[in-house]
Chain A
Amino acid sequence: MIALLRQPGNARYAGVSALMVLLLTLAGCASTPTLAPELRRQLPPRVQLADVPFHGQRDYQCGPASLAMVLQAAGRGARVDALIPQVFLPGREGSVQPEMLATVRRHGLIPFRLPERYGALLAELAAGHPAVVMQNLALPAWPVWHYAVAIGYDRAAETLTLHTGMTPRREVDAARFDATWARSSRWAFVALPPGRLPASAGAETMLQAIADFETARGPRAALPAWRALVARHPEHAMARFALGNARHAVGDLAGARAAFRAATEADAELAPAWLNLGLLARQAGDNAAARRALKRAAALPGPWQPRARRALDEETDA
């Protein structure tokens, strides 16, 4: 390529053909994103979240500005000035995705990553959740990475409404938006108070998001989120297990035992649930129940088996 460019006659030819190839490969991206049939039935034709405040970005600070908008929409009093030292990376003149999520946790909200689909974004907006999206406004070779906040859509007009850059409520053509969003692998998240769950995320994603929040902010803060997850997915054994641990950490021992028992009912193979159930029964002096649960835990192969066997031995000796 470089050799070709040194010859003036070839340079123009090479440039033109490179541009043509580039445009042809990209043309596939700029089509209006389609929705799954059931979403098409369920989603309202138009949504505008009127109460999401707007903050214009300064220089490179679309990250802190976008965060301020979603945090304030959820009732947190985070100012852009206070967010800049928390999320902005001076050396990169921008903000990176992991720290965008981490900063949400520092303000007591749970960041939930959304499935990489246009329909998921609309489902969140329909549920009243503004979403931070990452776009590459330019092309992969010369990226212009940008955060914006999606606050509404109009299906008939095929537009998405964004608080972006210096412009509040900008209506963007859905195809153009999707082309720029696809270049970040359709990265998006919602920031919700513990107890509220995203409309579109799967059980495993939510479980990990709440567990990460709990590690950063403690079980008392996470407890409402675990309760909400169990209500949404009563069949999910790990969710019930996590609820049991959070209840135990705040001193609700009876509630914790009930949750661990429910976890073993949802999945009889979940060894840590049997183990924790047995340990709590032993602490309560309920030795018969403790032995029963520990026996089940000790019979299941896996990383918890040695611990379960030890506890069972202590229990039989006692």
Chain B
Amino acid sequence: MMKRLTRLLSPLLIAALVVGGLPAMAGAQPATTDLVSTGEALGAQAGHDDRAKIREILAREDVQRQLLLQGVAPAEVEERVAALSDAEARQMAERLDQLPAGASVVGALFAVFVILLVTDILGLTDVYPFTR
């Protein structure tokens, strides 16, 4: 039974692979002209080399790991990292913990409250809406 199925399927599979492979090969034809890409040219202007490229790849893996640690859903992580530019990925990999995270929530320290109240009144800060 199994043998007959295999005998039947094999020629079909071979045919499918050959037919399926043809357009891919035809499509690959223009790629023989391998131009210098914009990214490569800009990278070379900035003094990047192959080692820099490897560092970029490692940086992206690092960011992926950090996002998971920060509680981002695994399904989202890959697309979030893919949308980062090389410079942004590097920045995230090197100092995510120091990057300011926009959130706008005030800590509740009383001494800080008083100082911020004064600076708010002086027009240096913008924490408490009732000062205006």
Contact = CB atoms under 8 A, between A and B. Distances in A.
B12 to A, nearest CB: 34
B99 A96 contact: yes
A96 B100 contact: yes
A317 B124 CA distance: 72
Contact of A90 (B72, B89, B109, B126): B72
A276 B99 CA distance: 40
Interface string A138-154: 11001111110000000
A46 interface: no
A262 interface: no
B26 interface: no
**Secondary structure of the A side of the interface?**
helix
B67 A89 contact: yes
Given A62-B104, A89-B72, A93-B105, A212 B85 contact: yes
Contacts of A184: 100
Q: Which of B70, B104, B122, B129 neighbours the largest number of chain A CB atoms within 10 Å of its CB?
A: B104
Given A93-B105, A139-B116, A147-B102, 12 more contacts: A29-B124, A59-B105, A85-B76, A86-B79, A91-B69, A97-B102, A98-B99, A99-B92, A145-B104, A216-B83, A248-B35, A272-B41
B57 interface: no
Contact of B124 (A134, A176, A238, A279): A176
B124 to A, nearest CB: 5
A165 to B, nearest CB: 6
B105 A304 contact: no
A96 B63 CA distance: 13
The 3 closest A-B pairs by CB, nearest first: A94-B101, A91-B70, A94-B103
B104 A144 contact: yes
A54 interface: no
Interface of A: 19, 22-23, 26-27, 29-30, 57, 59-60, 62-63, 66, 85-87, 89-103, 105-106, 134-139, 142-147, 165, 167, 172-173, 175-177, 179-180, 184, 207-208, 211-212, 214-216, 238, 241-242, 245-246, 248, 251, 272, 275-276, 279-280, 282-283, 302-304, 307
B119 A139 contact: yes
A315 to B, nearest CB: 13
B68 to A, nearest CB: 10
B44 to A, nearest CB: 5
Contacts of B9: none
B115 A19 contact: yes
A179 B125 contact: yes
A15 to B, nearest CB: 8
Given A216-B83, A275-B36, A283-B33, A139 B101 contact: no
B23 interface: no
B6 interface: no
Interface string B87-131: 111011000100111111111010010011011001111110100
Contacts of B49: 303
A180 B119 CA distance: 11
A175 B123 CA distance: 7
Contacts of A307: 36
Interface string B28-72: 001011111111111011000100000000000000000101111
B36 A176 contact: no
18 contacts: A30-B124, A62-B104, A91-B71, A93-B103, A94-B100, A103-B83, A106-B79, A138-B125, A139-B116, A142-B112, A146-B103, A180-B125, A208-B42, A212-B87, A214-B38, A216-B82, A279-B34, A303-B44
